[in-house]
Structure 1
Amino acid sequence: MPSAERRYRSTALDRVFADTRIVTAVGPVRGLDIERTRHTLTAAEHVDASPHIALEPRSDARLWRYRTDIAGDNVTSDTGPTDDLGQMLTDIRSRNGARGPLEVVVFDEHLALDYSHGIGDGQIGVMMLAAFCDDADGSLVPGLAAGLPPSTTWKALWRHYSRNPKTLADFWTLRSRHRPVSDASGPRRRIENWEADKVSRVGYMSRARVDELKHWTAENLPGATAASVSIALWSAALRAEAVDVDDHVMVLFNSRRYLDPAQQSAHGNFAVGIPLHLPADTTPVAITTTMREVIESGWPIAVLGMSQLRDVASRIRPSAQSQEKNSVVEVPETLRLAVSDLGRVRVFDHLDWVDDGRPPQMAASLEPDGPDGCTMLIAEIAGGRTYTASFCSKMVEVAVMDAALRRMCEDPVALLRDAH
């Protein structure tokens, strides 16, 4: 039953994401146990009176309740196959029935979460996976309760722009330079009931290939970051499979970088997508330069500030769940990409991986915002990288997406060399 004592004042971004789900999984891990997982979840609920993990997100309300007894029938076991992580995420997402704010599925050697994005962005998802797999010393549980204070955005804005006032002009310049231009005259496609055809596919780049890519990048693309290389690789892989890719790529930035270090581990929705104009001939070094300009200008935190201002002046929108969704949509033939690179995920370093030839992996499906959207989540664990693409199979065939993932993961150096 919902608790009546405390309420959480949701942000505009919280409510935008309240009806969106994130499905994520990690494995293969030894020693998973459903009762231990329930115990860990219960412990997280009781860390303090307002544990962020216990939120009950609603898109039609500013004040959200905290649930109690959150480790009940929402923690289940499953004996289904886990060799194909993309299919596993797709199956979890497409289950019948109503969904609670947080659901945990314990497989033999994998653990999966299906949670409302309203609870928080990917940071809380990663922390929950790590804690529910193994938190024997209790060190991870307290971190699941910490939420971002209501004043976080304003303090971050002041912290950045009071120290770097000239970057406000840089923000407006960059925003204008990368502003997407809509083209209503291009070819379009009608897609019916696209949400039923959302799927996730997973590619894996071995440690040897990752090392090879890092060495080649250091020699030939000095200054390029892993994230910029991933963006260039994914765009090139899709274009090599004859997919028409939009020149604007939505790159996810974690705005916690603008916070005081003491607050950077707190949870909420504090990551934003920034649309960057990155045509096919944009090199990873140029992408790195653009991303650095975005960060230094404060663009991500400025977006959060503007959303807060609009929210103050607006009325609450009706819940998306109560609206009748249009079963037929018309979209451009061009695929829009959104990329989130988590980098090296060290919070899993304590896990006891199963040594049976399968690599340690974390996969996650991020909901595309339309049938012409494709999200990519990248996570590096134990030296190998996992790439999860989520998209509408009526827009791009699964076989084409699988081929692009193979092309990117099997010989990334050749792909980069050919593209640039």
Structure 2
Amino acid sequence: MSMHSASSRDLMRSGSRMITAIGPVRLPSTGEIRDTLTVLAHAGGRHTPIGLVPTTESRRWEHRPQDFLGVRQLGPCTREEVPRLLTRLARAGASARPLNVAVAGDFLLLDISHGLGDGRLALALVRAVAGGRTGTPVPEWARTRDSALPLARALTRAFATSPARVAQLLEPRPSITPDAGPVGTVPWRRSPTAVVESAVSGTTAELRRWRDRELPGASVSSLLFAAIARAMRSRGLTVDDKVDVLFDCRRYLPDGATVNGNFAAGVRFALSDPGDAAEMSAAIAEATASGRPLASLALSIAKFRRRMRAGTAHTEAAHVAARPRARLVYSDMGEAALLADLDWTDEPGRRIVTALSEPADPASIVFTSVRRGPELDVSASLHDNVFDPELVRDALADALCDPLSLLSRRIV
């Protein structure tokens, strides 16, 4: 057994988990899956995530390639049962192992400590496990250690000519909605729940055509986010004017730099209307161009280190507002191109790639989108003792069934 010095970025995430599901795919046996992951753990040694055993207490993590993994066989599962299975696994509580694999018929579920990495690692692991059989080459990422000081290098690259810009980007943005004053709270405990909906094939292409006509330059993901906000509101949910968007900060790294672990950051936007596609798109584009996600990541780490010194870094919420506003959190995992050549066992319209990402804030709802060619899967992760999952499912179905109708409505 050897020791690894974890980054503050990874330690910051080590108290949470990601659960990813994919299927239906012709999967290796559980024995082959165990062998594949054990090979990955040995391939990179203690310098790559697989085989590490995160702890929330310190940056000194053990590398235990012989004792980091749990693999189990569940009963067969259908596509429609995947959200229920994700919910069940999330509610089972924290596992003693950082990486847990469940096989349910032709569906694969990976429960990963967030300390090991972000959504990029989750998809890479899904590809390695679902496509891994005896003799399969070890993927390059599993043998490549992280570049030294990636955050410092990215900050230097983005802000070296104007370091004062970092502070400017982090200045608090005032809320559009007036502060309602003190808010009554009630006791609360976690109750993670997943709902999943899929758009019909071609929906993303329709969004692109609408974008080209109405909002040239906007991203498809920003249009989708705005449609979801409108659908949530139309279903009677009170939506906060502040929204959180997750960004992969690897875009700011120098060429050739590698980060296998966590390198994503959330940026909070105060919008006059989260359902305004033009405002949403402009906010995301401005943040991306300015390097604000990178500055936000640096600030998050600084705040986390202060909480670590105070002993409050991983304190869980115990109360929620008596009348909560839904804080929408958006995470676009992009195109899952590396999964395209897996041995799928059903036609495209019956496939799924999705995830449950438990909100740390009880009043948040995390929307995670994954594109598979012309197809689109979106999950909503929430706590069902705060918001009605059926209401959220209906809103998500509305947004994916006819996003153009939602986006074309006049804002009132």
- What's the TM-score, normalizing by structure 1? 0.88
Cross-structure match for 1:391? 382
- Offset of 1:387 from its aligned partner? 0.6
Identify which range, 248-257 or 350-359, moves more after superposition: 350-359
Cross-structure match for 1:256? 250
Using a 3 Å threshold, how does the CA distance of structure 1 residues 215 and 307 change in structure 2: closer, same or farther? closer
Query: 2:317 and 2:299 mapped to 1: Cα distance?
Result: 29
Where do 1:36-75 residues align within 5 Å? 36-50=32-46, 51-70=48-67, 74-75=70-71
Where do 1:221-370 residues align within 5 Å? 221-264=215-258, 266-280=259-273, 283-309=276-302, 316=309, 318=311, 327-330=318-321, 333-356=324-347, 358-370=349-361
Matched, 1:34 2:30: yes
Match of 1:218 among 203, 212, 215: 212
- Offset of 1:257 from its aligned partner? 0.8
Query: 2:397 and 2:306 mapped to 1: Cα distance?
Result: 48
Is the contact between residue 343 and residue 378 of structure 1 (CA under 8 Å) also seen in structure 2? yes
SS at match of 1:53: coil
Match of 1:117 among 114, 119, 144: 114
Cross-structure match for 1:108? 105
- Offset of 1:382 from its aligned partner? 3.0
* Aligned residues: CA RMSD: 2.7
Identify which range, 350-359 or 235-244, moves more after superposition: 350-359
Query: 2:282 and 2:137 mapped to 1: Cα distance?
Result: 37
Identify which range, 133-142 or 112-121, moves more after superposition: 133-142
Using a 3 Å threshold, how does the CA distance of structure 1 residues 217 and 309 change in structure 2: closer, same or farther? closer
Query: 1:309 and 1:177 mapped to 2: Cα distance?
Result: 16
Q: Which amino acid aligns with 2:378?
A: Y
- Offset of 1:17 from its aligned partner? 1.5
SS at match of 1:246: coil
Q: Which amino acid aligns with 1:29?
A: V
Query: 1:257 and 1:135 mapped to 2: Cα distance?
Result: 29
Cross-structure match for 1:176? 171
Query: 1:201 and 1:61 mapped to 2: Cα distance?
Result: 34
SS at match of 2:181: coil
* CA deviation string 1:155-197 (max 9, x = no partner): 11112112xx24x55554444363558835265452432x1x2
SS at match of 1:130: helix
Q: Which amino acid aligns with 2:149?
A: S
* CA deviation string 1:330-362 (max 9, x = no partner): 465211111001121111022121225753221
Is the contact between residue 188 and residue 330 of structure 1 (CA under 8 Å) also seen in structure 2? yes
Cross-structure match for 1:199? 193
Cross-structure match for 1:152? 150
Using a 3 Å threshold, how does the CA distance of structure 1 residues 179 and 255 change in structure 2: closer, same or farther? farther
- Offset of 1:250 from its aligned partner? 0.5
Using a 3 Å threshold, how does the CA distance of structure 1 residues 135 and 24 change in structure 2: closer, same or farther? same
Matched, 1:15 2:11: yes
The answer for unaligned runs of 5 or more in structure 1 is none
Is the contact between residue 20 and residue 353 of structure 2 (CA under 8 Å) also seen in structure 1? yes
Is the contact between residue 186 and residue 332 of structure 1 (CA under 8 Å) also seen in structure 2? no
The answer for unaligned runs of 5 or more in structure 2 is none
Is the contact between residue 59 and residue 318 of structure 1 (CA under 8 Å) also seen in structure 2? no
Query: 2:126 and 2:182 mapped to 1: Cα distance?
Result: 43
- Aligned residues with identical type, % of pairs: 25
Using a 3 Å threshold, how does the CA distance of structure 1 residues 402 and 326 change in structure 2: closer, same or farther? closer
SS at match of 2:359: coil
Number of equivalent positions: 407
Query: 1:314 and 1:400 mapped to 2: Cα distance?
Result: 36
Q: Which amino acid aligns with 2:271?
A: L
Query: 1:175 and 1:319 mapped to 2: Cα distance?
Result: 23
